[in-house]
Chain A
């Protein structure tokens, strides 16, 4: 079979539940890359047998060309990351072989996983098992007229963007859900005839013994929150975060923090926003005592409106905020809470 100077894009999806936004991210992103690089797209989906029709439909809706589904053995979910990696490793080789037999050998395989999902935790393992170069969470891809691919990535804590030209035959990227990708995927003109392939999930390695102690968290979940109230180093201690939690309760918002706030123990790591933490896309992000480093801003969607409260009028956060208040939080938060009560 003759080699073709093109890419084949594989979306790896471990479906934790029907229609979960994070599951769709890989499908939509792979479809978008396929359009950009004029490459064939294929989804490799691991899910419960009962979810197979819904997952197939999701791949079709996303504009994927082929879908290969392996049903997970009953009673195994939720899988641990190394089990997910083993399942994809055990099915990917066969899938790639079938794709090559039917469509020819592609110059490159781009493997896409959804960013921010359990699959991203397994991504390094998957890349190692598949001898793929792990490229992290690139910002965007460029494809020249000869089909050469480059990825633009954030580096140095978001302080630089580097463009990497790829020589690898296989590489793996984690991509976020974007409204643009989702909108393109729902365009009926892009709907294609779907090829469906049945795969068999290989035997999975044993799970690491694990005990879990449930958290009694009553706050709004940060994932998908429509408003976020976030504190940084400038909060100075736990007391400020108590006020932020009260503020969040009144606004039905989620509480978050910057890396220094997590470092100090004022908020848990599961609520860290930034280059190394969560990526959030609320309508409004209220940043209190946050200076606005590139590392922190890298975790906030560009479409989000930032409201900032900071005692330093020169703080970089005011350079990106829509609305700003120059005041110490200790003086400003109590009257803000009163005003919210009065407006309620």
Chain B
């Protein structure tokens, strides 16, 4: 690996921005040095104000042209010949704590949605007539026009790689200048993508900035928020709540807080012909992002009465988790995650010893863990590929079981529910689930998904109506 790949500057700024006077700080990941700017509130606010002032070039470009521009930059992550892809692959494992194999799979899955074709479809899905982003178009009753933010400030505190870059893409598509503060483990992709857009079109580049500062620095966050008319925040409930509280009352706020996702395996997926594949798909959904994604299932409900019982399915799933481990190995858990894993595993082992019918399968030093738990409670969980298997007499019981978590429900991955699928989906949606998917597709929702229940671009625009005289 080249020496250059062992250093990374965690920012991408318009050419006119002067760096802060204080020297950059360094976060080390083994032999990789990640530099970050020593920013202060007035510098942050200055950058934000500068972005807002640079919106004209972005405004003048037709939306489809922007989609093509951003899409061309995003597609570079997929080109095996492009040094940008190589750089991303060299930097992701350490910064995101993922294995090299998982980093590549995550990059492929994410970047597929940053291509022109997918972004144009996103525009069409979000706007009946995407030309509304370029000027007034006929609406239901009068002329209407969709206007992107003057400045979209986006604070990402999680660190699933790709979240920050997706946020960047969304704002650009609606012609909104944007300041992205990525999460610590998600610095690489937004910085590289911003650099690629900037080099393709410097005028557009003047309207975007990516700068990392440590999460939870309320003064820096607030300085950025002051200039925003639209704010998006990604992270835990507490972090998102604090950001919402610091957002000016005049700005729109889209918060993507903690989410709980789960799986449902019906009888039809448990017969001999399907069981192996079901287990393998469930294992993949759990393992992706090492289970840190909001879409990652934490519990899987398995229906009784099929060819395999839930406890037998749990054993099959354990085998599948081990197989996934071989081609998409788990990464490094941080101290909090590793601690929690020790606690949840140890607790389950004691429950097993207590004769409660609990079965625990795990990968020893590898983090994957399958806990079959016949008890009525959902039980403690943690990230790092730990899946709880719960038996249900009928998949139709699941909505009631998850309904206490209504505030946080997101993706339900379904398999083997046959003709019951649509009715189950309705019941799940009723209790708060915003996405029903298959296990194989669960990790990567399409760009036009209703992200936590709302359109990702519509959440960013305001509408102007033009009435007759």
**Is A bound to B?**
no
